[in-house]
A and B are shown apart, each in its own frame.
Chain A
């Protein structure tokens, strides 16, 4: 069981919202946690999908906002997208 968890965490990766500037990776999953977004989990996931955040896409954090390193500018395949770190917590990257 313990190993299962660890294996799953390794596959799942870290939330993009915690990644530093310069981070490069690939989206492992989109999993919206509960609360605090002002949107339902399904709606937030939908908006991320609509912007092009899907599993397998490459990401790189290019820039950070001047206050609290927020929001972040993310290179998403060939587009650049700005999101707040709070919303980027739902994007797991490896």
Chain B
């Protein structure tokens, strides 16, 4: 072996059907050495990682989106096809294709391997999860399989240390011969009869090379009898969702409080160290609170993705989609949309990131569109402030508190409007697009491998910090800028914000907001309130010159009760159900959809909805004498 071979980076691509254990194998091969980004111009995730083989080769392994065929009917599958065929300009053509098959169920993957042979690139079939297959008594004759298929075959156990040694050794051997075996590309999109023929060929090979046990595995069947039970299964799912919601909502709270306190303390240090003035304000209210606003979401994202990845690896996610398909389908949502939407009750940001579990782009976009309508935890301070100041604390019908009832109504309004928007989007917006059929494999249950889950959670958190974080941070700095410039003249008694650009913008939008009952103070507070919904509470305090920020909420409430009419208060509540008062959510939508367009659409429809609903509320309240 010459040093030349040693230094050339070889490109390998992992191809496989969904549920083939491809991701687990990728995590096992690359460990933490992976980079997640997007392919240029599309929102498809590009996962790549470096491996050093025992033979001293440096390999760049790319994990391609799961596919049943190279046909490319979605952007994800197009990427898989183009990379495999070496058509993508940004991606070097792979030196070797690794076709991953679940050894316990290789039937469909074998057909994919037959199709991949036509590409003419060196191909290696990897029978993953061979340990489980052997334990179940599945008898695979590797030599026969390899001979019939005319493709080298190797086994692997992605979840065990050293389970990929044989695979890497094979890769080394193949890369030595590789130059000689490059054939011609005879691939063309398979017709239906070619697909049939390929599957029959795969089935023929399986009959020769694989002996299935007489007594098939029954654990999955026994679990499914309970977990897919029409009543019991739904109850278990609801229970699971409740625990998950609690976890994202409540368990993340202490961590988030720690982060908030830490950043406040940091702000305090900045306050003490720096002289009063612009620099201090920038470091404290711009940079530190900007970074804090990004980092504070991390606990929720970690917890949510821990749940999602565990359930996914366990094989439960497909079952949950199965149970929810018809229930969600009535509103035009995919069965898998329930987790993102549920998470959005805590915060739309992890919720929108969680829409990655939905494969279909159209279903995913619909879910992203409605996720911010779910009542997130940041709305709660605003709701409680206004409710406690304006809604009398009395009982209705003897048992229910009126304040609680209003709170419930706000939650219900969010859910109903989300269902309504997705229904409308499906019937009017997407009309040119076909309703995607619900077809998916229900994989056998497997114990999740913690290492693989941990890598997945880590990658998500880093992605959020790097990609969404930068956008959120810059928006925070922009909002700080708007609220701080120009500086107030010396010796003024008015709050500083009344001289700022935010106040100017508030002044401009005030005539627009007057018909929905908002005065100029509210209009001004809405500008810094774009940073996050709960910031509006502190901003109102600032505008009404009440010192003490969040702690002074009670005081603010009393002040508001004397200055606003009930109609104005109700209109503001309704505004907050719908209004996109959260720059971070918009930033994440931009990042996740890869386009300003979807961010603009979300912003516009939410503002329109908020305006119309607040207008109706204000005027109806006035008519009923709540002026």
Chain A interface (Cβ within 8 Å of chain B)?
A: 37-39, 42-52, 54-57, 62-68, 70-71, 73, 77-84, 86-87
B228: CB under 8 A from chain A?
yes
Chain B interface (Cβ within 8 Å of chain A)?
A: 68-69, 71, 73, 104-105, 107-108, 111, 192, 195-196, 199-200, 203, 212, 216, 220-221, 224, 228, 230-231, 233-234, 318, 321-323, 325-327, 434-444
Which residues in B have their C-beta under 8 angstroms from that of A46? Answer: 71, 192, 195
- Determine whether the beta carbon of B326 is less than 8 Å from that of A66: yes
Q: Can you list 23 residue pairs at the A/B interface with Cβ under 8 Å?
A: A37-B434, A37-B435, A38-B437, A44-B437, A45-B192, A49-B199, A51-B108, A51-B441, A52-B199, A54-B200, A62-B228, A63-B228, A65-B230, A71-B326, A73-B224, A73-B442, A78-B105, A78-B107, A78-B212, A79-B441, A81-B441, A83-B437, A86-B437
Given A52-B107, A77-B107, A83-B437: A66 touches B233 (CB 8 Å cut-off): yes
| Distance of A49 Cα from B108 Cα, bound (Å) | 9
Which residues in A have their C-beta under 8 angstroms from that of B434? Answer: 37-39
| Distance of A20 Cα from B195 Cα, bound (Å) | 29
| Distance of A53 Cα from B200 Cα, bound (Å) | 11
- Determine whether the beta carbon of A65 is less than 8 Å from that of B323: yes
- Determine whether the beta carbon of B231 is less than 8 Å from that of A66: yes
- Determine whether the beta carbon of B195 is less than 8 Å from that of A71: no
Tell me the total A-B contact number using a CB cutoff of 8 A: 115
- Determine whether the beta carbon of B437 is less than 8 Å from that of A87: yes
B132 to chain A, nearest CB (A): 13
Which residues in B have their C-beta under 8 angstroms from that of A78? Answer: 104-105, 107, 212, 216
| Distance of A68 Cα from B231 Cα, bound (Å) | 13
- Determine whether the beta carbon of A79 is less than 8 Å from that of B192: no
Which residues in A have their C-beta under 8 angstroms from that of B73? Answer: 43
Q: Which of A39, A55, A71 has a CB less than 8 Å from the CB of B325?
A: A71
- Determine whether the beta carbon of B326 is less than 8 Å from that of A67: yes
- Determine whether the beta carbon of B325 is less than 8 Å from that of A80: no
Which residues in A have their C-beta under 8 angstroms from that of B192? Answer: 42, 45-46, 49
Closest 7 A/B residue pairs (Cβ) = A38-B434, A38-B435, A67-B326, A50-B68, A66-B230, A63-B228, A80-B442
- Determine whether the beta carbon of A49 is less than 8 Å from that of B196: yes
| Distance of A71 Cα from B325 Cα, bound (Å) | 7
Closest A residue, CB atoms, query B68:
A50
Given A63-B228, A68-B326, A73-B228: A80 touches B233 (CB 8 Å cut-off): no
- Determine whether the beta carbon of B322 is less than 8 Å from that of A73: yes
| Distance of A68 Cα from B326 Cα, bound (Å) | 8
Which residues in B have their C-beta under 8 angstroms from that of A68? Answer: 326
